[in-house]
Structure 1
Amino acid sequence: MEFESTNTSIGLEDGNLCYYEPVDYTRFLLVIVGGTPFALLGLFTNSMLLFLYGKKRYIRAPQLFLAALALFDICICALYLLLFSVDALALYCHMEPLWLMWHYYCLPLFTVSRIVQMSSAYLTVVSTVDSHHYRLWCTLTVVALSTALRIVTYWEYELLAANPDYNRIYNLYFINVIQVFLPFVVLVIFNVALVNQIRKRIRLTRLFYLLLPFRSMISTNLIDASYTTIAIVTTYLMCNAYSFIIGICEQLAQHWLKNPDSSSNDFYTISSDVISLLFMYNSVLRLFIYCTCNLQCKNDILNMLHFGRSCVSHRNEPTTSL
Structure 2
Amino acid sequence: MTAALLDGKAFAGKLRGRIAARVAEMAAQGIVPGLAVVLVGEDPASQVYVRSKARQTVECGMRSFEHRLPAETSEAALLGLIARLNADPQVHGILVQLPLPAHLDADLVINAIAPEKDVDGFHISNAGKLATGQRAMVPCTPLGCLMMLRDHLGDLSGKSAVVVGRSNIVGKPMAQLLLRESCTVTVAHSRTADLADTCRRADILVAAVGRPQMIPGAWVKPGATVIDVGINRIPPPGTGEGKTRLVGDVDFASAVEVAGAITPVPGGVGPMTIACLLANTLTACARIHDLPDPADLTA
Normalising by structure 2, report the TM-score. 0.29
Larger radius of gyration: 1
Which structure shows the bigger proportion of residues in strand conformation? 2
Normalising by structure 1, report the TM-score. 0.28
Higher relative contact order at CA 8 Å, sep ≥6: structure 1 or structure 2? Answer: 1
